[in-house]
Structure 1
Amino acid sequence: MAGPRARPGLVVAAVFLVGGVVVSAAAVLAVLGGRGNDVAWVSLVLGLLLIGWALAFQRLADTDTDGDPLRPTRLLSTGLAMAAAYVVVRLVGRPVDSAVFGALVLAAWTVVHRLLDRRVRRRRAEGAGDAAGPAAD
């Protein structure tokens, strides 16, 4: 059984959930109103990702797995950033190719950041292992 939830965590999840519902509703209205352009469709995806992120964030406290409990939240965060980048670039008036390029660059930046974090953790672990090795002799 999970313990009580922290109030700031509930507020963050509620803001993302309400934001996702609002964005999804606006996107559905835009699509059904005949303005079903690419921004409306990607906004619908963005709203659903916001809702999914809020639910995944709430489940972090309930996760008792040996794997990476942050993995779903990280994947949803990357998707959120890509969809938001696309929508913002398109709403500014840039063409579709600029929006796709911006979303892909953002995704690539996230992947590079994760790879560098992994490498830093590996080097720190190797350094801690080397420091403990000679002292054990």
Structure 2
Amino acid sequence: MDVMPGRPEVFLLGEGERTVASGGPALVGAGGDRREVPPQAYEVLRFVEAALRQGYAVQITPLRTELPIDDAADAVEMDREELRLYASRGDIPFRTSQYVDWVQLADVLALSSRVDAERAQALQELAAEEPWDDDAGPRR
């Protein structure tokens, strides 16, 4: 499993992903006690185990599913003003209380994935362009 130090991974189980299946993934203790876990939770545990085996420390912080917009931006390492811009443009829904704008973590995760994919695509397109020299103009 690919683990990058310093890059947070946020895992969120949807309603349908919280159930366990008999005979599915499980935690098994040294004494043989078995605790079945949802398949997505198993992936989280695999990530933690891989990081620890590679010698990294792991920080686990439970998050609410609705967060103040600044906390949500921090959770996905997005600039706070950038996330506020996306919210103001209607790219993600938000609600406002007296002092705080609130967003759903699932919406922020989806937005972050979409933005990352768009940026990766733009980089691919730039890399595929024909190189050129400022003095000679475009190469043919």
**Same fold by TM-score greater than 0.5:** no
TM-score, normalisation: structure 2:
0.31
The structure whose residues are more often helix, as a share, is 1
TM-score, normalisation: structure 1:
0.31
The structure whose residues are more often strand, as a share, is 2
